[in-house]
């Protein structure tokens, strides 16, 4: 299947719609401190794959809904992703100075504004989840609120980041590695897919299948990230190549080597495709995105 050609048609209009919405949502009220808004916009606009919004949109489309019906939540997911990157880059965290080839928020605006811009992006995300109620029944909005909040918190992204940092420089077990990735990146990817489906009115069988799909896709993305970090050049990555290894972060490639990691990624891709078996052609974009997770080159 020529997923590359299909995605090349599928992604650009959706990314453009998400980018336009983010731009509109991140317009300041007169009472908003200018420097804070600037840091929030710097952290969010511009480069970025918009993977989480796209997964949310593709899941909604798989259930017969359309882009416009989930735009606020799709953007909320991107703001949460942006917030997490801003905080992860801080000196007290990963101490990263470069992201997507640009100075990180704390390098550009200072630590104080980086912490607060992260917090404010996080708050804005939940404001957008409330805005979603203009398009969706409020009980569905509350369901996605819970799902997304849990995905971010101590049992999700924050918990994964803690484990990752606590284990830095140590040899980790496969179990710990899977825990870190399932929480640090997997939880929000899962919430992205499921929130799109729930807002579109998916029944519990469909949600169950997409749960399996989203976990597999999360793993596929993460393994591929590790492989790309290992093999790509600095220019391709927008951050120093091999930087995770240099810092002795827990990675699939460090644990298994590149070849075995590739096999794991292929298995995750197959799991993701199998989970979609019951779905019709509306779910095609979710299938292309699973291929993309594993076979992209950046």
Please state the φ and ψ torsions of residue 273, each to the nearest 5 degrees.
Answer: -65, -40
Rule CB under 8 A: choose which of 44, 65, 104, 161 binds its own copies. Answer: 161
Residue 247 · residue 254 · CB < 8 Å: no
The size of the interface with its own copies (CB under 8 A), counted in residues, is 58
- Other residues' Cβ atoms within 10 Å of the Cβ of residue 138: 11
Rule CB under 8 A: choose which of 3, 6, 7, 35 binds its own copies. Answer: 35
Q: Interface with its own copies includes 122 (CB under 8 A)?
A: yes
- Other residues' Cβ atoms within 10 Å of the Cβ of residue 214: 26
Collapsed DSSP state (helix, strand, coil) of residue 99: strand
Query: 219: closest CA among 247, 168, 249, 178?
Result: 178
Supply the minimum distance, in Å, between the C-beta of residue 15 and its own copies. Answer: 24
The residue (of 62 and 180) whose beta carbon lies closer to its own copies is 180
Q: Which residues contact 34 (CB under 8 A, 6 or more apart)?
A: 28
The residue (of 14 and 249) whose beta carbon lies closer to its own copies is 249
228/119 Cα distance (integer angstroms): 30
The residue (of 58 and 182) whose beta carbon lies closer to its own copies is 182
228/241 Cα distance (integer angstroms): 8
Site string for its own copies, 179-198 (x = CB under 8 A): x---x---------------
121/115 Cα distance (integer angstroms): 10
Site string for its own copies, 69-98 (x = CB under 8 A): ------------------x--x-xx-----
Q: Which segments of the chain does DSSP mark as H helices, in order?
A: 3-25, 34-44, 51-62, 71-88, 105-109, 111-131, 138-152, 157-166, 174-181, 187-199, 204-231, 234-237, 243-246, 252-256, 258-275, 284-295
Q: Which residues in the 36-65 window bind its own copies by CB under 8 A? A: 36-37, 40
Supply the minimum distance, in Å, between the C-beta of residue 31 and its own copies. Answer: 6
Instruction: Kindly indicate which of the ranges 33-41, 196-204, 251-259, 288-296 contains the residues binding its own copies, using the contact rule CB under 8 A.
Output: 33-41
Instruction: Kindly indicate which of the ranges 28-36, 52-60, 170-178, 261-269 contains the residues binding its own copies, using the contact rule CB under 8 A.
Output: 28-36
196/207 Cα distance (integer angstroms): 10
Q: Interface with its own copies includes 28 (CB under 8 A)?
A: yes
Q: Which residues in the 210-269 window bind its own copies by CB under 8 A? A: none
Task: Please report, as ranges, the residues that interact with its own copies according to CB under 8 A.
Answer: 28-29, 31-33, 35-37, 40, 87, 90, 92-93, 110-116, 118-120, 122-124, 126-127, 129-131, 133, 137-139, 141-143, 145-146, 148-150, 152-159, 161-163, 165-166, 179, 183
């Amino acid at each position: 299947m020529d997923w590359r050609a299909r995605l090349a048609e599928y992604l650009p209009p959706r990314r453009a719609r998400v980018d336009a919405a983010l731009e509109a949502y991140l317009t300041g009220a007169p009472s908003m401190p200018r420097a804070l808004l600037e840091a929030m916009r710097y952290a969010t606009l511009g480069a970025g794959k918009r993977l989480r919004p796209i997964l949310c949109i593709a899941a909604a489309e798989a259930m017969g809904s359309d882009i416009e019906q989930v735009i606020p939540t799709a953007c909320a997911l991107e703001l949460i992703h942006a917030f997490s990157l801003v905080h992860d880059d801080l000196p007290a965290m990963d101490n990263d100075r470069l992201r997507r080839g640009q100075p990180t928020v704390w390098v550009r605006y200072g630590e104080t504004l980086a912490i607060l811009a992260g917090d404010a992006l996080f708050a804005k995300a939940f404001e957008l989840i409330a805005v979603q109620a203009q398009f969706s029944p409020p009980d569905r909005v509350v369901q996605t609120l819970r799902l997304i909040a849990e995905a971010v918190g101590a049992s999700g992204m924050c918990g994964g980041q803690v484990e990752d940092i606590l284990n830095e420089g140590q040899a980790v077990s496969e179990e710990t590695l899977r825990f870190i990735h399932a929480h640090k990146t997997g939880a929000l990817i899962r919430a992205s897919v499921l929130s799109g489906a729930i807002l579109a009115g998916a029944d519990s069988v469909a949600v169950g299948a997409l749960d399996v799909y989203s976990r597999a896709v999360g793993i596929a993305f993460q393994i591929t990230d590790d492989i790309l970090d290992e093999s790509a050049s600095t220019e391709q990555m927008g951050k120093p190549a091999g930087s995770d290894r240099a810092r002795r972060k827990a990675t699939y490639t460090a644990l298994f080597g590149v070849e075995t990691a590739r096999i794991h990624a292929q298995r995750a891709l197959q799991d993701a495709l199998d989970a979609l078996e019951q779905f019709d052609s509306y779910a095609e974009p979710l299938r292309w995105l699973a291929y993309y997770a594993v076979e992209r080159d950046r």
